[in-house]
Amino acid sequence: MSETMSDTVTRVPPGTVHDIDAHQGWALTRHEPGPARARSVDLLFVHGMAAGAWIWPEHWIAAFTGAGYCCWTLSLPGREGGAVRAGGLEALERVLDHLLYTGDVDGALEMLVRSMPGASLFDGPTLDDYSDTLDKALAQIGRPVAAVCHSLGGAVAQNLMRRGRAPEATVLMCSVPPYGTWRAAAEMAVANPVLWQNLAQFSLFGVEAADPAILRANFFPRGISNRDYAMFVNNLRDESLAASAQALGLPPFAPLPAPRNDILVLGGALDRLVPMMDVMLTGLYYATLPEIVPDAGHMLMHEDAGHGAITRILAWLDARETPVRSAA
């Protein structure tokens, strides 16, 4: 069952087929293809940390639907009771209100624990939870899928590959490397300690604890409008420390290194979260030549330079379809 939102977009309600009971549901949104020739695969866009399907701008999706692809945007499950976004005092007030009006001591204690900084390390969705969701989304789409995975979404896809299930093709875009984020984190701690500290505060206490100017300068090195940045920040949710801790690389989450012609590795030359070194090493890991987009940062889909990423992805997908058409 699906709920029609418009002529071109259909939203699949969270948990229509499956759900992860311990966390907020996941959602899948369908974007109908344009009048261009039919494609042999659908595209599934998988977001990164603290985000959701909203992270993909309309113009970004329109570039792919306009090329004839049926597109899907996935929102991974979230962490319930995101108290860090509301602030400690407000969270405490909610706990006390619950206790006074219901007398539910156990429930109040659970709410209090969930509101503590860093609690998502223990009760947040894990990388396996996210990969389970991706697996279910692939099954629900029911057609061959090329997954475009950004940042932590790349770790989600690689973790699924390690378990023996993979999309027809995968784009690792500004992605967590197959060996984890430990190298990039160590480099950031030395070369950009202010960003490292702000990301740590964001992870533990929510976006309000981080300096918005520092996040803005590092996530969007080529700049972003005040309106678009406000939309970006206001939509961020509590990050799951359980998943991001696993993304450090221990235990390993990626398949063993091997040549993979079903993977496109793509990065931004100005990315300060996944530096070019990690993009190159990811390409080496999968024995494929990575694509570097000049003047692009980590959130390249929100930058003018992101058109270079779209061009590269479409060209790679076309090259993969050419042998199929020739064989037909």
Residue 286 CA to residue 126 CA, distance in Å, equals 25
Residues 254 and 267 in one domain: yes
Does residue 204 lie in a domain region? no
- pLDDT per residue over 198-242, tens digit each? 999 888 877 778 898 999 999 999 999 999 999 998 898 877 888
- pLDDT per residue over 43-70, tens digit each? 999 999 989 999 999 999 999 999 999 9
Residues 96 and 148 in one domain: no
Please give the model's pTM, rounded to 2 decimal places. Answer: 0.83
- pLDDT per residue over 111-162, tens digit each? 555 555 555 445 578 999 999 999 999 999 999 999 999 999 999 999 999 9
Does residue 38 lie in a domain region? yes
Residues 111 and 250 in one domain: no
Residues 93 and 35 in one domain: no
Does residue 222 lie in a domain region? no
| Mean predicted lDDT score pLDDT of the chain | 84
40, two tokens: 């042999």
Provide the CATH number for the domain around residue 39.
3.40.50.1820
Residues 65 and 92 in one domain: no
Q: What single letter denotes the amino acid at residue 88?
A: G
Residue 181 has pLDDT above 90, yes or no: yes
Does residue 211 lie in a domain region? no
> How many domains does the chain fold into?
2
Residues 174 and 245 in one domain: yes
239-275: burial string, b at 16+ Cβ within 10 Å, e else: bbbbbbbbbbbeeebbbeeeebeebbbbbbbbbbbbb
* Domain carrying residue 281: 3-79+125-180+240-327
- Write the CB contacts of 195 (distance below 8 Å, at least 6 apart in sequence): 188, 214, 218, 272
Residues 148 and 166 in one domain: yes
Residues 14 and 109 in one domain: no
Residues 118 and 244 in one domain: no
Residues 115 and 15 in one domain: no
Residue 171 has pLDDT above 90, yes or no: yes
Residues 118 and 7 in one domain: no
